[in-house]
Amino acid sequence: MALFQLILILILSSCMAQDEDIMTPVVNIYSEIKEIKASINRLTMDLNTANNELAEQNSLIEELQKQIKESPKVAFTASMSATESTNRGPFSTETKLIFDKVLTNIANAYDPVTVFTAPVKGVYYFRYSGSAFSSHDMGLSVFKGTTQFVSSYKYNSGERNDQMASGAVMELEVGEEVHMRLWIRSWIFVGQHYNYSTYTGYLLYPLDSTSV
Ligand SMILES: *[C@@H]1O[C@H](CO)[C@@H](O)[C@H](O)[C@H]1NC(C)=O
């Protein structure tokens, strides 16, 4: 009996000793601090990288804002003026149409006496509309310099109003001119109050003048 008790005590005490080790593991405070230091270093490096990227992106945003602000803005719409409802044409030759009633002229690139002249190299959009003088033919073209670009034509279709419109995207160099022409022996209606016949253009986007 005494032996059995002794063995039991031995087993129990050895278990308790093991339990104590498991319950309170030895913490090496120095290696913990070392690890914490290392992760602080990593975090600091990450933060620096993030800050640098942020600074780069901020300067990029500033640059883009500047570009948007400084990018040229060109847009116009013009119609034709008349003291009473009348027509332009017919002429015995194809004739430049003067849209003298300026409704919008951003950056003043449109000259109502002459033509539109591209102030910057870029891609432009032009649109025109023509109201037909009843019982007459109407032919309209938009010219890029001396080149006919797009046209529209209608035959005399009787006593009624006809309206036509067309447009084109053009790539223009600085100083290139774009104007409208009325075809030979054709008519265009000019209302006194109604801006039926119009010529519109605007810069879609500028092109780098150094690029080919
Ligand atoms: C025509 O343009 C003038 C601006 O010159 C404007 O006052 C008028 O309302 C326009 N007429 C029509 C019918 O759109």
pLDDT in tens, 51-68: 999 999 999 999 999 988
Could you tell me if residue 6 is inside a domain? no
Could you tell me if residue 8 is inside a domain? no
Shared domain for 56 and 143, answered yes or no, is no
Shared domain for 141 and 191, answered yes or no, is yes
Which pLDDT score is estimated for 133? Answer: 78
Which pLDDT score is estimated for 160? Answer: 80
Question: Going by CA atoms, what residue is nearest to atom 7 of ligand 1?
Answer: 193
Residues whose beta carbon lies within 6 Å of some atom of ligand 1: 101, 103, 193-195
pLDDT under 70: residue ranges of the chain:
1, 8, 10-25, 210-212
Could you tell me if residue 211 is inside a domain? no
Which of 80, 83, 195, 199 to mutate for ligand 1's pocket (most ligand atoms within 8 Å of CB)?
195
- pLDDT, one tens digit per residue, over 88-123 is 999 999 999 999 999 999 999 999 887 899 999 999
pTM of this prediction?
0.74
Shared domain for 33 and 79, answered yes or no, is no
CB 155 within 8 A of CB 162: no
What domain range includes position 175? Answer: 72-206
Q: Enter the tokens of residue 176.
A: 């290139």
Could you tell me if residue 140 is inside a domain? yes
Shared domain for 59 and 77, answered yes or no, is no
Q: In angstroms, what is the span from residue 104 Cα to ligand 1's centroid?
A: 11
Shared domain for 148 and 56, answered yes or no, is no
Which pLDDT score is estimated for 44? Answer: 97
Could you tell me if residue 166 is inside a domain? yes
Shared domain for 130 and 110, answered yes or no, is yes
Number of independent structural domains in the chain: 2
Which of 193, 196, 197, 199 to mutate for ligand 1's pocket (most ligand atoms within 8 Å of CB)?
193
Shared domain for 100 and 152, answered yes or no, is yes
Which pLDDT score is estimated for 11? Answer: 65
Question: Going by CA atoms, what residue is nearest to atom 4 of ligand 1?
Answer: 103
Could you tell me if residue 14 is inside a domain? no
Report CA-CA distances (Å) from 71 to 63, 107, 172, 203, 209.
Answer: 12, 12, 16, 10, 13
Which pLDDT score is estimated for 181? Answer: 96
Q: H-type helices in the chain, by residue range?
A: 2-23, 29-70
Shared domain for 123 and 110, answered yes or no, is yes
Q: What is the CATH number of the domain that holds 111?
A: 2.60.120.40
